[in-house]
Structures are given as C-alpha cells and as structure tokens.
Amino acid sequence: MLNKIRPALGRVLTPVGRAVARTGVSPNAITVIGTAGVAAGALVLFPRGEFFWGTMVITAFVLFDMLDGAVARVTGKISKFGAFLDSTMDRVADAAIFSGLMIGLYRDGQEPLAAVALYCLVSGVVVSYAKARAEGLGYTCNVGIAERAERLIVALVAAGFDGLGVPFILAVALWALAVLSTITVGQRFATVYVQARDGAGPGAGDGTGNGAGNGADNGADNGAQKTPEPHR
C-alpha cells in the first residue's frame, strides 16, 4: 500500500543521497551499517524492555538505510548484488526486530504475546518468500494488505508507544499484524493459484524447487539500488 508514495520519497531522498555520496560511502556500506544498527537496537534494547529507546534507535537506522538507493542512483552504482544484499539485510533486520520484541515480552512474563511476536516473524518471512518464489517461477504477485513497510511501521509505532506507557497498544498491534500477515499470505497464494490454473506466467524455474526465488520483501525506498522490481 505504501508503494504509492515511493516515487515521491525517492525525489525527497535524492538530494540527501547526493550529499552522502560526496563522503565516498558506498550504497552497500550504507545497507550493512543500517542493518547492523537496527539489529543492535532491537537485540540490545528490546530484550531489556526499553521499547521506546529501542524504537528510536531502530527508526534512525531504518531512515539511514533508506539512503542506499538514493546514493546508488546518484553514483550510478546500481547492481544486482546490491539488490541481493539489500533484500537479505532486510530479512536480518526484520528478524532482529521481532526477535527482540519476543525476548522482551517473554522476560516481562508475557509469554502468549511473545508467541504472537514469533508468529509475526515467521509469517513475515512467508509473505516475502511467497512473492519471491512466485516471481522466480514467472508469475506476478503484487498483492498483499500487509507488506514489509506496513508491518514495520505498525510494529515500531506500537513498540514506541508501549515504551511510553500506553496500555495494550503493542498487544493490539501484534495481533493485528498476525491476522493481516496471514491474510496477505492467502492473497498471494490465491493470486498465484489463479495464474497457474489459467496457464499464465511461464515459469523461470522448473516447478520442482530448482528455480530459486529472485528476491525478497523490501522496504520503502532502499530497493532503489536494484535493477529488478523490489519484492515486498
């Protein structure tokens, strides 16, 4: 859903990307640094129950990570390896965020909600893989009510407000994400099933598991260093 604002976001980030490019930092370095910062904030602060400050640190590094696409555009360093690295690092960041929430909730004695956070982590991986695998087989799979950007925004906003003492907001958000992610998986399965039934989309793979997916779910603008369309 947030894909509609990506062109506008790209225009806003391009001047910042030019400034960062002058420092000599490469797009891939930005990707790795951003992911490392997100993982550190999530796995150090969330398990200690510091949900507000963890959210602040994570948000800062998520915004920094979004510059990799802008820097790649202005420097001409757009590459398939950059696309692969960015998509893979996004998976690491997502896993760190929901793992940190899960550990923090478990330590706080909220075992059922920790299990919901684990479900959100797993379902998010399935959402991303379903699209990557579908497109690896030659189908289109541009559907889903809860793509990566939406999932991160909901989780981080709720965690931040929970850290400020707002009651029940994190529980509501995680349960909503669990439901919406499940619906998204169903949407993608249904979309691919219809295409397969109707004989649409000649596959790039052989249908036996050998045609690997060509990408993974991606965030707002950081996929701009890719040649292929980012998978969300």
Question: Is pLDDT above 80 for 72?
Answer: yes
86 is catalytic: no
Tell me the whole-structure pTM to 2 decimals: 0.81
Residue with tokens 């129950």: 49
Distance of alpha carbon 61 from alpha carbon 134, whole angstroms: 30
From 65, 68, 86, 90, the catalytic residue: 90
Distance of alpha carbon 110 from alpha carbon 218, whole angstroms: 30
User: Which ranges of the chain does DSSP label H, i.e. alpha helix?
Assistant: 6-21, 27-40, 51-65, 67-75, 80-107, 111-136, 148-163, 169-197
Buried b vs exposed e over 153-181: b needs ≥16 C-beta within 10 Å? ebbbebbbbbbeeeeebbbebbeebbebb
Q: pLDDT exceeding 90 applies to what percent of the chain?
A: 57
Lowest mean pLDDT across 25-39, 76-90, 114-128:
76-90
- The highest-confidence range among 4-18, 163-177, 213-227, by mean pLDDT, is 163-177
Would you say 184 and 27 are in contact if contact means Cβ atoms under 8 Å apart?
no
Lowest mean pLDDT across 100-104, 161-165, 202-206:
202-206
Distances (CA, A) of 111 to 77, 97, 103, 172: 45, 17, 9, 15
Q: Which amino acid, one-letter code, is at 46?
A: F
Nearest Cα residue to 230 out of 68, 95, 98:
68
Rounded mean pLDDT of the chain? 84
